[in-house]
Structure 1
Amino acid sequence: MSDREGGSGGVPPTDEDLSLPKATVAKMITDLLPNDVTCAKETRDLIIECCVEFIHLISSEANEICDQESKKTIAPEHIIGALKRLGFDSFTTEVEDVLKDHKQQVKDREKKVSKFEQSGLTEEQLLAEQEKLFAASRARFQGQGGQQ
């Protein structure tokens, strides 16, 4: 692959440096298996190696598609194309659904307006309001004194 991953330059990582978080993979496996089934450590390690190899395979193919289109950035469409080229057509529908959900979440996040912006008040007005609330709270607390 070309240096499209946004790496820091320098020496590329070796295969030994590339892995997935073992705790995360272990949790995923545990969540997917029935409660009465366990997974040996070497099996988890093998699953991680398979996942890393799958990522290499898909990203290499996506990189080729990207190069053929004279693009400098691998796009989601390149990943979907790579899945199809490599015979993983059955994955594409779910990947497209996840991509659509992700795009919607990004749009929703961009639409969200902070409470500060929603208030329509200036920072000074909000600070004054906060001071009033603190003063009222102090007065109530001091008025209660030892009454409880």
Structure 2
Amino acid sequence: MSDHEAGGMPSDEDLSLPKATVTKMIAELLPNEITCAKETRDLIIECCVEFIHLISSEANEICEQESKKTIAPEHIITALKRLGFESFTTEVESVLKDHKQQQKDREKKVSKLESSGLTEAELLAQQEALFAQSREKFRTAAQQ
């Protein structure tokens, strides 16, 4: 039983990335006539895990220096700069901005739901009625 399974911290052997996801990403990036050996994919996964570990450790140090208990996105960006990956920061900041916008959009949707003043059951009934109307329109159009 590994430390992780026993409730402790995961060992480096427990840390990985989904092989199918990495394989898909590699296939999307390579030209069609180029393939990637399984050993190469596994090496890429190991490199990615090591990179994440490196950035996380540095961000944790920055977080502790600031007497914070939670690693913030700004800690990651500072860690990238400190470790010599400054060229990555523009892309990371762009992804962070997009993520924050998506979060705001989700919150607006929740607020819309809440501000409708209807219960979940009432909204479900409205949805069912709309589906029924749509099915009826579809049947009518199909019969013509």
Q: TM-score, normalised by structure 2?
A: 0.77
CA distance in 1, matches of 2:126, 2:19: 50
1:27-85 alpha-carbon deviations (Å, 9 max, x no partner): 00001101110000000000000000000000000000000000000000000000000
CA distance in 2, matches of 1:40, 1:9: 34
Equivalence map 1:107-118=2 (5 Å): 107-112=104-109, 113-114=112-113, 118=116
User: Do the aligned partners of residues 9 and 88 (structure 1) sit closer, same or farther apart at CA in structure 2, a change above 3 Å counting?
Assistant: farther
Number of positions where the alignment pairs a residue of Structure 1 with one of Structure 2? 130
Q: Which residue of 2 aligns with 1:10?
A: 7
Q: Which residue of 2 aligns with 1:54?
A: 51
Q: 2:63 aligns with which of 59, 62, 66?
A: 66
CA distance in 2, matches of 1:129, 1:60: 48
> Higher Cα Rg: structure 1 or 2?
1
Q: Which has the higher helix share?
A: 2
Query: Percent of counterpart pairs with the same letter?
Result: 74
| Structure 1 residue runs without a partner (length 5+) | 1-6, 142-146
**Cα RMSD after superposing both structures:** 3.3
1:87-115 alpha-carbon deviations (Å, 9 max, x no partner): 0000000000000000000001111123x
Task: List, as ranges, runs of 4+ consecutive aligned residues in structure 1 with deviation greater than 2 Å.
Answer: 7-10, 120-131
Q: 1:106 aligns with which of 103, 107, 113?
A: 103
Which one scores higher on RCO, CA 8 angstroms, separation ≥ 6? 1
CA distance in 1, matches of 2:127, 2:80: 56
| Structure 2 residue runs without a partner (length 5+) | none
Q: Which residue of 2 aligns with 1:34?
A: 31
Structure 1 window deviating more from structure 2 (105-114 vs 53-62): it is 105-114
Deviation at 1:125, TM superposition (A): 9.5
